[in-house]
Structure 1
Amino acid sequence: MCHYEHTQPGTFMRVFIGFLVVALIGAGVAVSVSAGEAVVAVSFLAPAVVCTVILVLFHSLTVRVSRDAIRLAFGGGLIHRSFAIADIEASAIVRNRWYYGWGIKLIRGGWLYNVSGFDAVEVQLKNGRRYRIGTDQPTELLAAVESAMAEAS
């Protein structure tokens, strides 16, 4: 049984990286046409490919809370993480600092999983580790985590 499932789009990331990819491809084509050499275009196209891969991997964050685990999946799910509900000691709504940014990062006090915004739910595991799950629905996510924890105990 799923207590909660939500996919948060990384809208700013999609727009910014999408624009960057288009600009790099456009610049590569313009430079290769004016210079007459395809080799020059590769210096623009290679970063465009890297940006496209980043966009595909991190364009959204899906959070699922079931009675036994919290599951996180970026983009299509290639990059994912899960936490057993039985291992969670506490959870709370927190606000991330602006410089924590987006993606998967080691931050002061634990790890951050985020694609957009500053709101998050922090879960503290019984082993002392802390994880922040970025969300645009912190109240709903916290309620689902607490409900799953109550069922598990």
Structure 2
Amino acid sequence: MIYQHTQIGWAILAAFAAVAVLMVGLMLIRPSLILDIGILVILLAFAIVFGTLTVQVGNGKVRCWFGPGLIRKEFDWVAIDDVSVVRNRWFYGWGIRLTPEGWMFNVSGFDAVQVHLATGKRFRIGTDEPEKLEAAIRQGMEEVDRDV
């Protein structure tokens, strides 16, 4: 394994927590228990699924996944033409987004690594370690070039 890092989306988790606190407050004012508990369970599920983003580089692939891995994406090194450190615009937001530059996975901040694929498509991976991630992907790409 060349690289592995899990970034915690503190802003996303704080937003989910704020809504959960609001829901509990509303439950005290106007109890509609089944609906409120249902919403709290959904919030908890979203926090678990989208609260972290893990990126792994190694074994011929770049992999990234949210939370426990229900939502994931992977690229073979041979499918990657180039990689670059980029800065996302504030309005691209967090989560899974389709941006003008292609799809994006992000849980926090504005820094990302953009993977340029041989197909012409691009994919952004949000990270708080953009230079390390870019270097790891480049290292993997160089290993492919040496093997060819």
Bucket of the pairwise TM-score, normalised by the shorter protein: over 0.9
| Partner in structure 1 of residue 13 of structure 2 | 14
Q: How far did residue 138 of structure 1 move?
A: 0.3
Residue aligned with 1:89, SS: strand
Q: What CA deviation, in whole Å up to 9, does each residue of 1:68-121 have, x standing for no partner? A: 000101011111111111100010000000000011111112100100000000
Separation in 1, partners of 2:22, 2:64: 31
Separation in 2, partners of 1:23, 1:111: 32
| Partner in structure 2 of residue 81 of structure 1 | 73
Aligned pairs for 1:3-152 within 5 A: 3-32=2-31, 40-152=32-144
Q: Gaps (5+ residues) in structure 1?
A: 33-39
**RMSD value, Cα:** 1.2
TM-score after normalising by structure 1: 0.90
* Structure 1 segments (4+ residues) deviating >6 Å: none
The one-letter code sitting in structure 1 at the alignment partner of 2:11 is F
CA contact (8 A) 1:111 1:132 kept: yes
Separation in 2, partners of 1:103, 1:70: 18
Q: How far did residue 51 of structure 1 move?
A: 1.6
CA contact (8 A) 1:93 1:119 kept: yes
Identity %: 39
| Partner in structure 2 of residue 35 of structure 1 | none
- Please say which of residues 23-32 and 127-136 is displaced more in the overlay: 23-32
TM-score after normalising by structure 2: 0.92
Looking at CA atoms only, which structure, 1 or 2, has the larger radius of gyration? 1
Q: Gaps (5+ residues) in structure 2?
A: none
